[in-house]
Amino acid sequence: MQNRCIIIGAGHAAAQLAPSLKQEGWQGSIVVVGAEAQPPYHRPPLSKTFLAGTKTIDQILIRPQAAYEKHGIELKPGVRATGIDRQTKTVQLDNGAALGYDKLALCTGSQARRLPLPGADLAGVHYLRTLADVEAIKANLADTRQVVIIGGGYIGLETAAVLRTLGLEVRVLEMMDRVLQRVTAAPVSAFYTRVHTEQGVTIETAKAVTALAGKQRVAAVHCEDGSHYAADLVIIGAGILPDVELAQAAGLQVDNGIVVDEYALTSDEDIVAAGDCTNHPNRLLDRRLRLESVPNATEQAKTAAATLCGKRKPYASHPWFWSDQYDMKLQIAGLNQGYDDVVLRGDPQNSRSFVAWYLKAGKLLAADCINRPKEFMLAKQMLAQGTRATSADLADETVDLKALVGEHPG
């Protein structure tokens, strides 16, 4: 009898974990169970090039179908896992089948946070999380002139940039005092507000949406302050939540994600988890955290694959992220939580290229690099080496930061 590993979920973590299992020496069968109809695909392009129509489904697949077949990996697209029985080591599927496993990997990812708004079930109201979501949005665009986006986070702003570029009237409603408030400093929020405004997007902050109005189709968005806005299309970008229902029902430890150790192992020695769905320790940051990022999903999946093969390769790295809007690429190195100082390199008020450095007690925590690929790479090196730099050096564009890397360890 061959050992069988079942991977639940078919996102970035699963797409990495399956071939990594083979590379680590797994001799048994591998089955990937994914609720979506497509093989694993890149999710970031959904709100960018795929929405814009410049990339096709085939162009955003992480790997072609043939790559899985070559490695003997069985994909089960369009099938949802509905339950895990840890005693009998079986996974229940929504088609009535049950699959036995020797090892199990949970790569369930995350799902869009749903807002309990009156009118949220009207036609023309969409979330943007899956390929099917974007296909539904694109099918509506021909009859759309006015778009209201609820939420001024990265997804909301990326979507606003694409739809504005396509010539639509776009309004972003953000309930907090500034866009990106949870993830960036005030100068970065002000920068994105300026750029979007220059591009013709209307941004409204401190706007709490209370209802969506219309007969069969959405026609307006109503806010708590009495304001209301006409809309042919509404896109809700209210963040995401870890998909932990299966793990919780199976009795695994869950706390803001599936709790795993540094080897991606859950509270069951035969079950690992990787990606957005996990709450994991990071010794470099000296804390537990849950990350919503592609690099985290792929790197943690490599660790999970090694663990399933009896090898111990601890996962710990400095997080990094990115966002594309118009002609701007934002690259983020590190995690800025707990900063007490922000140092700017460049002019965010009059240009589209600068860096916001985040520090705590003089130590570098993170950097937001807008159209600054060189500083982004240096920021990653500085974080990895614990480089200390003065605020004056970080702000001064005549200072060669490369010379600082490795010279001033923390």
Domain limits, the chain:
4-111+240-308, 125-236, 327-403
C-alpha–C-alpha distance, residues 95 and 193, integer Å? 47
Residue pLDDT, tens place only, 282-337: 999 999 999 999 999 999 999 999 999 999 999 999 999 999 999 999 999 999 99
| Whether pTM exceeds 0.85 | yes
Pick the CATH number of 125-236 from 3.40.50.720, 3.50.50.60, 3.40.50.1980, 3.40.50.2300: 3.50.50.60
Which pLDDT value is given to residue 2? Answer: 73
On whether the 327-403 domain is CATH 3.30.390.30, my answer is: yes
Which pLDDT value is given to residue 407? Answer: 56
Task: Please give the distance of CA 137 from its chain centroid, rounded to a whole number.
Answer: 19
Closest CA relative to residue 46, chosen from 36, 57, 37, 35: 57
Matching fold, domains 125-236 and 327-403: no
What is the dihedral sign for C-alpha 21, 309, 85, 263?
negative
Which pLDDT value is given to residue 405? Answer: 81
Which pLDDT value is given to residue 370? Answer: 98
Residue pLDDT, tens place only, 149-194: 999 999 999 999 999 999 999 999 999 999 999 999 999 999 999 9
SS (H, E, C) the chain: CCCEEEEECCCHHHHHHHHHHHHCCCCCEEEEEECCCCCCECCHHHHCHHHHCCCCCHHHECCCHHHHHHCCEEEEECCCEEEEECCCCEEEECCCCEEECCEEEECCCEEECCCCCCCCCCECEEECCCHHHHHHHHHHHHHCCEEEEECCCHHHHHHHHHHHHCCCEEEEECCCCCCCCCCCCHHHHHHHHHHHHHCCCEEECCCCEEEEEECCEEEEEEECCCCEEECCEEEECCCEEECCHHHHHCCCCECCCEECCCCCECCCCCEEECCCCEEEEECCCCEEECCCCHHHHHHHHHHHHHHHCCCCCCCCCCCEEEEEECCEEEEEEECCCCCCEEEEEECCCCCCCEEEEEEECCEEEEEEEECCHHHHHHHHHHHHHCECCCHHHHHCCCCCHHHCCCCCEC
Which pLDDT value is given to residue 408? Answer: 52
Name beta bridge partners: 374.
none
CATH number of the domain located at residue range(s) 4-111+240-308 in this protein: 3.50.50.60
Enumerate residue ranges in the chain where pLDDT < 50. 1, 410
Task: Please give the distance of CA 360 from its chain centroid, rounded to a whole number.
Answer: 25
C-alpha–C-alpha distance, residues 398 and 379, integer Å? 16
